[in-house]
Amino acid sequence: MTSTPVSRGKPLPTGAGRLKVRTNAPTRLEIPSPGNSLTPSTSAPSSLSPLILPAPNSSSSAVSEQAERLTSELMIAAFGKLSISGKKSEGEVSEVSNAVNEFEEDEATSLKAEEFQDLDRLGEGAGGTVTKVCHIPTGKIMAKKKINVDPNQHVHRQILRELEFLRTCHSPHIVTYYGAFLEDERSSIGICMEYCEGGSLDAIYKCVSRRKGRIGESVLGKIGEAVLNGLVYLHSHKIIHRDIKPSNILVTKKGVIKICDFGVSGNLEASLAQTFLGTSYYMAPERIQGRQYRVSADVWSLGLTIMEVAENKFPYPSVLSPIELVAHITKMDPPQLSNDCDWTSDLRDFLRVCLEKDGEKRPTPKQMLDHPFIQRSAAKHVNLERWIRQVWEWTD
């Protein structure tokens, strides 16, 4: 099928899958605060980096309360439930950008629970935790996600087989997967992946917001560019991510933007059904309604993600209950950027196209790479390593 370039005002069709929305009561997600070495300063906006711009006048505490309330009310029903918190210091981290070359395949295949030393808790949810760990035989620093699973050993084997497929996925825009193993008397699966020192976009934009700043449009362009390229790669491997959101987009200490929590198998998803409750408020309308969805569903989620990161708040009204919010997403017009900041027409149109409610008309990630906002970003150099260092105030 020939891909048609995206032009302003002309959304294009896309690709398929299906999901039922669960209505169980949501569970609270608890995220630790960043360590003191990453506590943001209270400097005036004029002291912020050119890549971190002054925010319009608003109550940052109100934004934080809104985000906290929504987080406590809603949980998603798939793989990426855990929000990665900000990291403690650059001195603690280990370079993982060349992870595939440094970690041999036979080492990944033979990972065992007893070979790991826990270093720090990165995130925690109702069904498991994400921990910074050291693989003792190699000294490799990793992130380990531990998830409670169905005790059926046949399900275990199938999950591990399907997770092994992820080791064939290699892209600069997706987090490297190292391997998985059973632990805790076979009641949980440990999934080992690349450790991204800069944390998640969720932690990053909240840090910037506390400093009364906002993330500049040049960085937003690089986020969109990286995520779209990652989604194109995953789609080439027949994977629809299904859970794009700020906490599932990570940044390395070199400023490389990567997608995590991709390629969830049906068996793992079914195993988690009784553990993680609720529905994702980043889902495209067609997914919420239980209709067939295509790879363009990930484009909707990216649009909401970039809007949230741009405005330091979730794009939908904070006063809505979970049921009201789901109805609002499916029945009302999509959100738009506020007029508080001087956003370019290219960014506004990019988000408008991403947030096309009709999944058949919404473009694919590959088509969105042709949008003028992304084309302009691709032609521009942005020092993302400098940006992430300034976000967390890392020093040599």
* Exposure of 1 in the CB half-sphere (CA atoms within 13 A): 9
Task: Please state the separation of Cα 99 from the chain's center in Å.
Answer: 20
CA neighbours within 13 Å on the CB side: how many for 85? 22
CB < 8 Å & 24+ apart, contacts of 207-211: 207/34, 207/38, 207/40, 207/86, 207/391, 207/392, 208/40, 208/52, 208/312, 208/391, 209/55, 209/60, 209/63, 209/64, 209/312, 210/40, 210/60, 210/64, 211/40, 211/41, 211/42, 211/43, 211/48, 211/52
What sections of the chain are H helices per DSSP?
A: 60-73, 99-102, 105-109, 153-164, 201-210, 217-236, 266-272, 285-288, 296-311, 322-331, 345-354, 365-368, 372-378, 384-392
Tokens coding 44: 């005036």
CA distance 326 to 387: 35
358: Cβ–Cβ under 8 A, 6 or more apart, which residues?
A: 11
From the CB of residue 161, how many other CB atoms can be counted at a distance below 10 Å?
11
Tokens of 169: 């996925």
List Cβ neighbours of 98 (8 Å cut-off, separation of 6 or more): none
How far apart (Å, rounded) are the C-alpha atoms in residues 106 and 104?
Answer: 6
Q: Which residue type, as a one-letter code, is found at position 207?
A: C
CB–CB of 229/222 below 8 Å?
A: no
Q: Is 216 helix (H, G, I), strand (E, B) or coil?
A: coil
Three-state DSSP class for residue 387 = helix
The answer to whether the CB of 209 falls within 8 A of the CB of 201 is no
Residues forming the active site? 243
Does 81 show up as a binding residue in the annotation?
Answer: no
Which residues face 45 on adjacent strands?
A: none
Residues of the binding site for ATP: 145
Residues of the binding site: 145
